Amino acid sequence: MISVNNEQQVQAGPLTQMGLFDHEQVVFCNDNATGLRAIIAVHNTTLGPALGGTRMWPYATEAEALTDVLRLSRGMTYKAAVAGLNLGGGKAVIIGDSRKDKSEALMRRFGKFVDNLGGKYITAEDVGIGTRDMEYVHMETKHVTGIPPALGGSGDPSPVTAFGVYMGMKASAAERWGNDSLSGKKIAVQGVGNVGSHLVEHLVKEGAKVFITDIYEDRVAMVKKKHPAVEVVAGDKLLGLDIDIYAPCALGATVNDESLSELKCAIICGAANNQLADEVKHGKIVMEKGILYAPDYVVNAGGLINVYSEVAGFGTDYAMKQAENVYVTTAGIFALAKKENIPTYMAANKIAEKRIAAVAHIRTRR
């Protein structure tokens, strides 16, 4: 099992960083005419082509963007493996403000870079990217999913992602309290974008007491208007709440030294990728503090399941049924972690790595 702490990764050069998690390929993309600056990371293609979304974010440095795309692409490999999909793991990041810097030309130029990989990497939407952006990418390559239904795609994968997280949360509740009901539970949702807002809807319908926060006030206002019962909390106040479940649904690394000193919850279960700032260090601390952590790439697999359904030619009903199985998968990971007395992230990794190794063995046999 490969375990690398955050400090090791940040201090290493690009090629060394690739080696830390055994990445196959990293492509740096630049186009002065459109302002495109992007990185595509292909982690592992043992199980199939690397599929993973494109994220657009105003990273402070190129090194920060590289660290993020490497961690995200590795997570996609494990996500596909645990979900039982015939896909490898990849991811892309575009450096920039999605609300100001996006354009048709930029997205189409990015599509050309994706196309140059010849199907080794299939892209989709992620933070800062929507179905309209995927339409532009689709104009330049067929290696894209999440395009609108009118173009033969499955559309926005967010509802399926949110449903999977909801199932994972119910499995977590069953493990912690012996009952999977979320009625009356105090749940803090950090980030109410496409996925977070759909998750809030599930939680409100079940009768949970929901607290929300987001860096964008318009998102908060929309969710509050739709669900008046939710309580809006300032971002710097969220971690200090006395809650049952913390649901990070924005960017990663929110489970860190600072947050763990403030968090008052029994469960961490959300849609964000790479929630543990340092997988090894913080995975162990979470376990020692008695907090049940639902591995992020397990519970947020619904989006990948949705776009896989599109690639494989299956329908939405198939995607929702598979997302419902996140409950069983999450419960199985908790059982293994308990049996071997290991952190839950490590149990999930072991399951993923076992499947990848088994398939690699089959493919190398004559």
Show which residues are catalytic: 91
CA angle 356, 358, 363 (to 5 degrees): 95
The end-to-end CA distance of the chain, in Å, is: 26
CA 156 vs CA 144, 150, 221: distances in Å: 13, 12, 21
What are the DSSP calls for 220-244, one per residue? HHHHHHH-TTSEE--HHHHTTSB-S
Report how far residue 4's alpha carbon sits from residue 17's, in angstroms, rounded to the nearest whole number: 10
Report how far residue 147's alpha carbon sits from residue 130's, in angstroms, rounded to the nearest whole number: 9
The four Cα atoms 140, 144, 148, 154 give a dihedral, to 10 degrees, of 160
Burial class, 112, CB count within 10 angstroms (exposed 0-12 / middle 13-18 / buried 19+): middle
Report how far residue 294's alpha carbon sits from residue 1's, in angstroms, rounded to the nearest whole number: 19
Residue bearing tokens 């709440």: 241
Report how far residue 365's alpha carbon sits from residue 176's, in angstroms, rounded to the nearest whole number: 43
